[in-house]
Amino acid sequence: MDEVQVIARGVPIHAISVVTGSGLDDIAQYFKRGQTVALLGSSGVGKSTLINHLTGCDHLKVQTVREFDDRGRHTTTHRELVLLPGGGLVLDTPGMRELQLWDGDESLQFVFDDIEALAGQCFFSDCRHEGEPQCAVQEALVAGTIDIERYESYGKLQKELKYLARRKDKLTEITEKKKWKKLSRLATERARLKRR
């Protein structure tokens, strides 16, 4: 849990198990009357099993994790909003294969606000935090005020955002080329029709 806490600063983290019952009392606060909770995660992590526990019956179909590779099976095929006996609502969702970013630079500012604030104090405005002189982020790493794992996660997120931006730019370029090619073809056809 400590590793998750480093990445998700300020977000409550609860390790739970429906099988052993551990941690279930800790999460009860989220499923009260008037509250709606959405469960997200990979197949086989226990989203539907948790909902069955909360409803007190086998409301949703579940399957065991495959023994040969310890991976979950896609059992939930649609989203379903379930009313709990206490009046809360919980949304069961199909298992996800991956999560992607969509907020761009705002993701960095929101998730790594501490590192972003330090980055603004670097001597060079285009500092990459990789050995440049007077880098506030590197100084904080040396001083131990930023956890190295958190900094590495920050770097990975930066790379992912740059990759997504390049991909988006490439898609935009392809779309523009197609648009202009179509307009050019239409102009050629109109010119041909006028000559007739």
Quick: pLDDT tens for 66-121: 455 445 444 555 677 888 888 889 887 766 555 555 555 566 677 788 888 999 99
How far apart are alpha carbons 45 and 74 in whole angstroms?
11
Residue 63 has pLDDT above 60, yes or no: no
Which one, of 13, 1, 7, 2, lies nearest residue 149 by Cα?
7
Question: DSSP strand E in 55-190: where?
Answer: 80-83, 89-92
87 and 115 in a single domain? The answer is no
Which of 43, 66, 92 terminates a domain? The answer is 92
43 and 112 in a single domain? The answer is no
Q: Which domain holds residue 186?
A: 105-195
Q: Report the alpha-carbon angle 6-102-29, nearest 5.
A: 50
Determine the average pLDDT of the residues in 173-184: 84
Give me 187's structure tokens: 């102009």
Number of domains in the chain: 2
Please report which helix (H) or strand (E) contains residue 38, including its range. Answer: strand 36-39
114 and 86 in a single domain? The answer is no
Residue 98 lies in a domain: no
**Does residue 151 contact residue 135 with C-beta atoms inside 8 Å?**
no
130 and 179 in a single domain? The answer is yes
Which of 92, 113, 147 terminates a domain? The answer is 92
How far apart are alpha carbons 151 and 59 in whole angstroms?
43
Residue 139 lies in a domain: yes
The more confident residue out of 45 and 34 is 34
Which one, of 95, 111, 104, lies nearest residue 41 by Cα?
95
What is the predicted pLDDT for the residue at 155?
A: 86
Residue 97 lies in a domain: no
How far apart are alpha carbons 65 and 151 in whole angstroms?
34
67 and 133 in a single domain? The answer is no
How far apart are alpha carbons 15 and 138 in whole angstroms?
33
Rg of the chain over Cα atoms, rounded to whole angstroms, equals: 25
22 and 84 in a single domain? The answer is yes
Chain mean pLDDT for the chain: 79
How far apart are alpha carbons 85 and 20 in whole angstroms?
22
Instruction: Identify the DSSP state of 27.
Output: H
Residue 124 has pLDDT above 90, yes or no: yes
Q: Report the alpha-carbon angle 150-127-151, nearest 5.
A: 5
Confidence of residue 140 (pLDDT cuts 50, 70, 90): very high
Which of 92, 125, 158 terminates a domain? The answer is 92
> What CATH number should be reported for the domain holding residue 144?
1.10.40.50
11 and 60 in a single domain? The answer is yes
Give me 91's structure tokens: 């949304």
